[in-house]
Amino acid sequence: MITLALSKGRIFDESAPLLAAIGLSLAEDPGKTRKLIVATKNPGVRVIIVRATDVPTYVQYGAADLGIAGSDVLAEHGGVGLYQPLDLAIAKCRMVVAAPEGFDYESAVKQGARLRVATKYIGTAREHFAAKGVHVDLIHLYGSMELAPLVGLADAIVDLVDTGNTLRANKLKVVEEIEPISSRLIVNPASLKLKRSALGPVIDAFGKAARG
Ligand code: PRT
Ligand code: MG
């Protein structure tokens, strides 16, 4: 049996066509069922439904043989113990620094102001500002980062942007691009050795489906 770790929401929504293309459609809609282990059309493959940030952990420890995770989540996790054979080019967005529309971020940085930055992505943010030589105090949040500058918790945020609608609705603007984000197939290296005959074809099929 092969176990694939997936998260509900964007990643599942955008993985569904790939899964269908390779004969791994789910027996139940993960958005509706309360089951956390869901069968697929292939009796040799099951899916476990976990939080997006937990997908790398399940694969790292071999509780899942493979999974689909955002490069944002993988960067925070560190990628230790994970083989990352494929960029699936789904759930794309950008990691950015954003600040209130009226805030002169460039000047504040030039003047060496010590900025307070709220984010769920502490590792990515730390690396970004260190590379620029900008001193920041990072505040760790678990969601709704866009709120932080509006209520004086932070000067800026590091967060994901897709359409930009959430930033606009909260009178925030992008002040720096950090990196493009997409979802990756991740594989447990021991599983790959022990189950190569079963896993190899699944990985190849994902590759073909992702290339369209
Ligand atoms: O919800 P949960 O806490 O379980 O986990 P999660 O929020 O990480 O899951 P989910 O499903 O929201 O995101 C899973 C993955 O989707 C992320 O790890 C990214 O790799 C990817 N992804 C792609 C995104 C977005 N696009 C995205 N736009 N994840 C989040 N967003 C959020 C963003 O943080 C912001 O709040 O959507 C909002 C902005 O969207 P726009 O379109 O208004 O700009
Ligand atoms: Mg979410």
For residue 169, give the ligand nearest its CA.
1
Q: Which of 160, 159, 105, 115 is nearest to 138 (CA)?
A: 115
Structural domain tally of the chain? Answer: 2
- In this predicted model, what pLDDT tens digit does every residue of 73-84 receive, in sequence order? 999 999 999 999
Please indicate, yes or no, whether residues 170 and 187 belong to a single structural domain of this protein: no
In this structure, the answer to whether residues 64 and 126 fall within a common structural domain is no
Counting Cβ atoms within 10 Å, is residue 106 exposed (0-12), middle (13-18) or buried (19+)? exposed
155-184 average pLDDT score: 98
Predicted pLDDT at 14:
97
Q: What residues make up the domain containing 150?
A: 93-180
Same domain for 101 and 170?
Answer: yes
pLDDT, tens digit, 9 for 90 and up, residues 117-129? 999 999 999 999 9
134 and 197 inside one domain: no
Q: 6 and 84: one domain?
A: yes
Query: What single string gives the DSSP state of each residue in 117-179?
Result: EEES-HHHHHHHHHHHT--EEEEE-SS-GGGGGGGTS-SEEEEEESSSHHHHHTTEEEEEEEE
Between CA 57 and CA 34 the distance in angstroms is 21
**How far, in Å, CA of 32 to CA of 45, rounded?**
20
Distance between CA 33 and CA 99 in Å, rounded?
38
Task: Give the DSSP per-residue string, 11-56.
Answer: HHHHHHHHHHHTT--BSS-TTT---SEEEBSSTTEEEEE--GGGHH
Q: Probe ligand 1: pick from 10, 119, 172, max atoms within 8 Å of CB?
A: 10
What is the domain-level CATH number for residue 124?
3.40.190.10
Verify that 108 and 172 share a domain, yes or no.
yes
Rounded to an integer, the average pLDDT of 198-206 is 97
Q: In this predicted model, what pLDDT tens digit does every residue of 12-28 receive, in sequence order?
A: 999 999 999 999 999 99
What pLDDT digit, counting tens, does each position of 32-88 carry? 999 999 999 999 999 999 999 999 999 999 999 999 999 999 999 999 999 999 999
pLDDT at 153: 98
Mark whether 6 and 83 lie in a shared domain: yes
Q: What is the pLDDT of residue 41?
A: 98
ipTM, 2 decimals?
Answer: 0.95
Q: Are residues 82 and 134 in the same domain?
A: no
Ligand with the closest atom to the CA of 182: 1
- Three-class secondary structure of residue 70 per DSSP: strand
Q: Is the pLDDT of residue 10 over 90?
A: yes
**Is the pTM above the cut of 0.90?**
yes
Check whether residue 128 and residue 146 sit in a common domain: yes
pLDDT of residue 212: 82
pLDDT category of residue 181 using cuts at 50, 70 and 90: very high
Average pLDDT, the chain: 97
- Tell me, yes or no, whether 81 and 97 share the same domain: no
The answer on 78 and 12 residing in a single domain is yes
* Index of the ligand 1 atom closest to the CA of residue 142: 3
Specify whether 81 is located in the same domain as 127: no
- Ligand 1 neighbours (beta carbon < 6 A): 7, 9-11, 51-53, 70, 72-73, 91, 93, 159-166, 181, 183
pLDDT digits (tens, 9 = 90+) for 80-98: 999 999 999 999 999 999 9
